A = this chain, B = another copy of it.
């Protein structure tokens, strides 16, 4: 593959990754809308369901997000009564995030989501082929990388 080809859209790992990521997020949307939440909010809930109360920072570590994204996000979630924010007493810098009953209850609704998503994708040919395309690009890309790193060592 020459430099010209490498500049083509499908040959750069980033584009399939970027578009499939958006596609899958969109596939989640109808289910999340029923729960009244967005996709990043769903991620925060999943972390809290799994690990219990955490600080803003700890949530960020799990999701690879900084506070400049998380702070407003968590505040919006507090506004719709999914969680409470309280300053820690031992460390006044730290904000403890705690699920409300409403936040905890959503887990029941959410537990159906992964299955429903799979079923939905099975009936949507387009999305599935895009996912397969990503898989192929990713595989090729990883083969490339491994090959290169072997040469280096």
- Chain A positions near chain B (C-beta within 8 angstroms): 3-4, 6-9, 11-15, 17-25, 28, 39, 43, 46-47, 49-50, 62-64, 107, 110-112, 114-115, 118, 121-122, 128, 131-132, 134-135, 138-139, 142, 144-145, 148-149, 152
Contacts and interface: CB of A to CB of B under 8 A. Distances in A.
Contact of A12 (B4, B46, B122): B46
A110 B43 CA distance: 34
B122 A7 contact: no
The 3 closest A-B pairs by CB, nearest first: A21-B21, A6-B114, A3-B111
Contacts of A4: 111
Copies in the complex: 2
A25 B3 CA distance: 20
Contacts of A47: 9
A20 to B, nearest CB: 6
Nearest to A144: B118
B17 A21 contact: yes
Contacts of A23: 64
A22 B114 contact: no
Given A7-B110, A13-B24, A17-B20, A118 B145 contact: yes
Contact of A138 (B7, B11, B112, B134): B134
Contacts of A135: 138-139, 142
